[in-house]
Amino acid sequence: MNAPIKEGLPLPGHVVLCPFPEVDGCLAVGGIPLDRLAARVGSTPFYAYDRSVLTQHVKGLRAILPRAVDLHYAMKANPMPAIVQTMVGLVDGLDLASAGEMKVALDAGADPDEMSFAGPGKRPEELRQAVAAGVTINVESAAEIPHIVAAGEELGVRPRVAIRVNPDFELKSSGMKMSGGAKQFGIDAEVVPDVLRSLASLDIEFRGFHIYTGSQNLRAEAICDAQRQTVDLAIRLAADAPAAFPVLNIGGGFGVPYFPGDTPLELAPIVENLESLCEQTAKALPSAKVVIELGRYLVAHSGVYVARVVDRKISRGQVYLVTDGGMHHHLAASGNFGQVIRKNYPVVSGTRFAEPADETASVVGPLCTPLDLLGDKVQLPHMEVGDLVCVLMSGAYGYTSSPLQFLSHPAPAQVLV
Ligand SMILES: *Cc1c(COP(=O)(O)O)cnc(C)c1O
């Protein structure tokens, strides 16, 4: 799907794919060399997302997925309005995690019929907003139901309700497990039949099931295995459903390679598995379409985080490139967003993209904490004050997942180019 990273580029051990070409010696986003783009943005640091990389990637995935599968975008990976607007033209629906995301989705022109709202702890006001918008609410707790029904009665709208199930199995080898055992997500599978029976007497439209088992998985076999168990579970649970239903959301979890040693997810076995699961669903639940919801897989590699070197210092023989950006803007790249062992995101020189990576340097930010590390002893060309450093794979869980206020530096800009 993407051209492999340029030969000679300094990513020892990384199998990360760099979709950005070199123009005039610089990494280029949206065809614009980074020094020029930085001038256009007017300040550093910033996030830059490449519209054409994003579009081609999502279209490429669509083209190989079975036609019977609907592809949804999980907005929390990157809710920048311009990204969401682009995504609306590329995917079949959006998955929201808050009323705030719902606003962005509706502003972007997304169809509420193809939106679902998941997440624990939805407040009554948020549920009421979702009912008013006609968005499907993925119920995570039986306690949400009376609020939804009350909002529907008050507004004269029939609420759309799906049940998020916490299955009794997990997605193995996932970066984040979100099912199996005790969880704050979804309703435990063994309790779901009772909840379904309780829906029969309520004035709601039953939309189906949402079963999400985990995130950031690079093992196709683990994903296929969880998907098979998910469909089997949904078919069993459907026996107690109050009506035939239109949606079977089997989750996602497709991971992306961030770190040295990560290998990209193999899609072929997943596509094959989805084909057979669509056939099984068509027989057992003929009204239901299979939906998968992906976040990072759709957006991660189309984004770079760009920071400028403000100091180059040597401490006891080790080179430090001190930049104007850091963990406050990109918590994940600093290793503090759920990683157990800190590993480097792929880091390249944006302004010396074509030069050999013949120096070992640590890229740090301006915060007074050793946690503020964007690259620990990475191979880079010799860089000077004024050069631009790029953290690749930054299109997901960057800007909105970072403690932007920490140390009171300005927030970075975001551009879709
Ligand atoms: C976070 C989340 C996603 C997106 O996860 P990615 O790893 O970005 O694909 C999808 N669905 C649900 C329910 C989530 O909580």
Q: Give the distance (Å) from ligand 1 centre to CA of residue 187.
A: 17
* Gap between the Cα atoms of 343 and 320, Å rounded: 17
Residue 62 lies in a domain: no
Residue 60 lies in a domain: no
What pLDDT score does 10 carry? 39
Residue 223's nearest CA partner among 279, 284, 163, 266 is: 266
What pLDDT score does 15 carry? 53
The reply to whether 279 and 310 lie within a common domain is no
What pLDDT score does 172 carry? 82
Ligand 1 binding pocket mutation candidate from 171, 212, 254, 291 (most atoms within 8 A of CB): 212
Q: Give the distance (Å) from ligand 1 centre to CA of residue 140.
A: 15
The reply to whether 230 and 199 lie within a common domain is yes
Average pLDDT over residues 25-40: 97
Average pLDDT over residues 335-343: 90
Q: What is the pLDDT of residues 285-312, one digit of tens each?
A: 999 999 999 999 999 999 999 999 999 9
The reply to whether 10 and 107 lie within a common domain is no
The set of protein residues with a Cβ atom below 6 angstroms from ligand 1 is: 74, 76-77, 95, 118, 212, 215-216, 252, 293-297, 396
Q: What is the pLDDT of residues 35-67, one digit of tens each?
A: 999 999 999 999 999 999 999 999 999 999 999
Q: Give the distance (Å) from ligand 1 centre to CA of residue 87.
A: 16
- Which of 251, 268, 294 is the last residue before a domain boundary? 294
* Gap between the Cα atoms of 284 and 182, Å rounded: 29
Helix (H) and strand (E) counts for the chain?
10, 22
**Host domain of residue 165:** 79-294
The reply to whether 172 and 220 lie within a common domain is yes
The reply to whether 38 and 90 lie within a common domain is no
Residue 59 lies in a domain: no
What pLDDT score does 7 carry? 37
**Is a pLDDT exceeding 70 seen at residue 210?**
yes
- Which of 243, 266, 294 is the last residue before a domain boundary? 294
Residue 396's nearest CA partner among 83, 96, 176 is: 83
**Whether the Cβ atoms of residue 47 and residue 413 lie closer than 8 Å to each other:** yes
The reply to whether 239 and 316 lie within a common domain is no
Taking the CB of residue 277, how many other CB atoms lie within 10 A of it? 22
Q: How many domains does the chain have?
A: 2
The reply to whether 173 and 155 lie within a common domain is yes
The reply to whether 399 and 378 lie within a common domain is yes
The reply to whether 242 and 282 lie within a common domain is yes
The ligand 1 atom at the shortest distance from the C-alpha of residue 297 is: 9
Between 166 and 16, residue with greater pLDDT:
166
Ligand 1 binding pocket mutation candidate from 73, 94, 95, 165 (most atoms within 8 A of CB): 95
Residue 61 lies in a domain: no
The reply to whether 41 and 144 lie within a common domain is no
- Which of 259, 294, 329 is the last residue before a domain boundary? 294
Mean pLDDT, rounded, of the chain: 94
Residue 68 lies in a domain: no
The reply to whether 147 and 285 lie within a common domain is yes
The reply to whether 243 and 180 lie within a common domain is yes
Q: What is the CATH number of the domain that holds 160?
A: 3.20.20.10
